């Protein structure tokens, strides 16, 4: 198949483009090379394995670009986005432009060019908090944590009915969305646009809800960097990784090469929808992309510090606005619908990350 990978020179997108090429697909890459993702020298940033792909440096908001690249494309793998927790609400226009508006432009152009398969890079951030259970009241959905509780070291969400600390569980794809940051709101908006497009066009969408992705080419030293990259940068400076709260926040850390595999499987699964999809209904499937091996933030910091031969993590308390306590995923739907199962263990992946090239 001919596959357009937006953001295909970025952290995740470059791995997706490489794997699709290895699997025999004809890959076309469009990437704006935003400095927040590629560093200050974005104009000179090397495109990984660029010799394998046709690469267009452009914004997907540019309709002329979309009109030039979409003819002949069988599927779009949409990785382009502004990512990360951000700085503060002043980031909102940038997230809206690069995530929401750009996705709307892409979907409109796909419709006009008859491209009916989309694999969308979504995120677990749309869930807000993960799944919880109260010993007395059963499944519970906590509201945002109070600043006074965080300041006093009370980090666990309480049951809305009785206040008892809740026990975390595995979040499934049918959980109600509850975005708690501008980035999260923008990712949910992307899903909503894509779902509407599928219904209106009869197309198919796989919305891959990435959990905490790490690995080679991860961006570093920006306000939008992931926690693994921030820990790695501190260790390279000879500093202890700084862990907020008590370090016992549960997350699912998934290796970028596993994420690339999930994308490839979704692209290839889309080939079956041309005859199966109801032209008036379309198909939208949201799927957790995770390792299925939950660990705490302190686990990540400690394992990485040991692998780097650096100082042990510092647990400092506090929390950033919008931070959630626990989000760990149920991988069952990805296994059942895509045949996807992560291959990289936490121990192996984090040890390798200690020396992986970053951006």
Q: What digits encode the pLDDT tens for the residues 338-348? A: 999 999 999 99
- For residues 294-311, average pLDDT: 97
Within-domain flag for 17: yes
**Do the domain assignments include residue 81?**
yes
Cα–Cα distance between 356 and 216 in angstroms, integer? 5
Can you give the pLDDT at residue 113?
Answer: 97
Q: Where are the beta strands (DSSP E) in the chain?
A: 2-6, 26-31, 54-57, 75-78, 117-123, 131-134, 138-140, 167-171, 204-210, 212-214, 242-244, 250-251, 253-255, 283-289, 295-296, 314-317, 328-329
Instruction: Please state, in angstroms and as integers, the Cα–Cα distance from residue 192 to each residue in 141, 185, 209, 301, following that order.
Output: 22, 11, 13, 35
> Does a structural domain hold residue 230?
no
For residue 106, what are its two tokens? 């892409």
Q: How many domains are contained in the chain?
A: 1
Decide if 77 is inside a domain: yes
The domain of 257 spans: 2-129+171-217+253-291+330-344
Query: pLDDT tens for residues 236-290?
Result: 999 999 999 999 999 999 999 999 999 999 999 966 545 444 555 789 999 999 9
Using the structure block, give the residue that is written with the tokens 């927790």. Answer: 85
Q: Give per-residue pLDDT as tens, 125-165.
A: 999 999 999 999 999 999 888 888 999 999 999 999 999 99
Residue 304 lies in a domain: no
Asked whether residue 308 is assigned to any structural domain, the reply reads: no
In a domain, 98, yes or no: yes
What is the pLDDT confidence band of residue 327, given thresholds at 50, 70 and 90? very high
Q: Is residue 358 one of the residues assigned to a domain?
A: no
Q: CATH number for the domain including 262?
A: 3.40.50.720
Q: What is the pLDDT of residues 39-86, one digit of tens each?
A: 555 444 444 444 556 788 899 999 999 999 999 999 999 999 988 776
> Which residue, among 305, 321, 211, 312, has the nearest Cα to 255 in the 3D structure?
211
Q: Of the candidates 350, 355, 240, 236, which has an alpha carbon nearest to the alpha carbon of residue 299?
A: 350
Q: What mean pLDDT is reported for the chain?
A: 91
The H or E element containing residue 316 is strand 314-317
**Residue 39, token pair as written in the block:** 């560093």
């Amino acid at each position: 198949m001919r596959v357009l990978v937006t953001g295909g020179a970025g952290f995740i997108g470059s791995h997706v483009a490489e794997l699709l090429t290895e699997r025999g697909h004809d890959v076309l890459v469009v990437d704006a090379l935003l400095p927040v993702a590629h560093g200050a020298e974005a104009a000179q940033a090397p495109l990984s394995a660029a010799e394998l792909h046709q690469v267009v440096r452009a914004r997907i908001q540019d309709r002329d670009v979309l009109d030039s690249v979409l003819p002949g494309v069988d599927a779009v793998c949409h990785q382009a986005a502004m990512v990360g927790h951000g700085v503060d609400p002043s980031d909102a226009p940038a997230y809206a432009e690069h995530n929401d508006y750009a996705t709307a432009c892409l979907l409109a152009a796909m419709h006009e060019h008859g491209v009916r398969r989309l694999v969308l890079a979504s995120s677990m951030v749309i869930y807000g908090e993960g799944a919880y259970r109260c010993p007395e009241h059963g499944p519970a959905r906590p509201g945002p944590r109070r600043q006074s509780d965080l300041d006093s070291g009370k980090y666990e969400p309480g049951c809305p009915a009785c206040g008892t600390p809740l026990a975390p569980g595995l979040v499934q794809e049918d959980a109600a969305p509850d975005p708690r940051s501008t980035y999260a709101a923008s990712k949910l908006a992307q899903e909503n646009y894509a779902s509407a497009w599928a219904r209106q066009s009869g197309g198919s969408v796989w919305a891959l809800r990435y959990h905490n992705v790490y690995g080679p080419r991860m961006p570093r030293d920006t306000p939008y960097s992931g926690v693994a990259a921030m820990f790695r940068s501190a260790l390279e400076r000879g500093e202890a990784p700084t862990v907020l709260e008590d370090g016992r926040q549960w997350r699912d850390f998934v290796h970028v090469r596993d994420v690339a595999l999930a994308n490839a499987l979704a692209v290839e699964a889309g080939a079956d929808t041309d005859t199966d999809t109801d032209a008036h209904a379309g198909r939208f499937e949201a799927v957790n992309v995770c390792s299925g091996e939950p660990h705490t933030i302190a686990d990540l910091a400690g394992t990485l510090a040991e692998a780097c031969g650096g100082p042990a993590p510092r647990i400092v308390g506090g929390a950033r606005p919008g931070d959630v306590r626990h989000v760990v995923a149920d991988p069952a739907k990805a296994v059942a619908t895509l045949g996807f199962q992560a291959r990289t263990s936490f121990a192996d992946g984090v040890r390798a990350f200690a020396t992986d090239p970053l951006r």
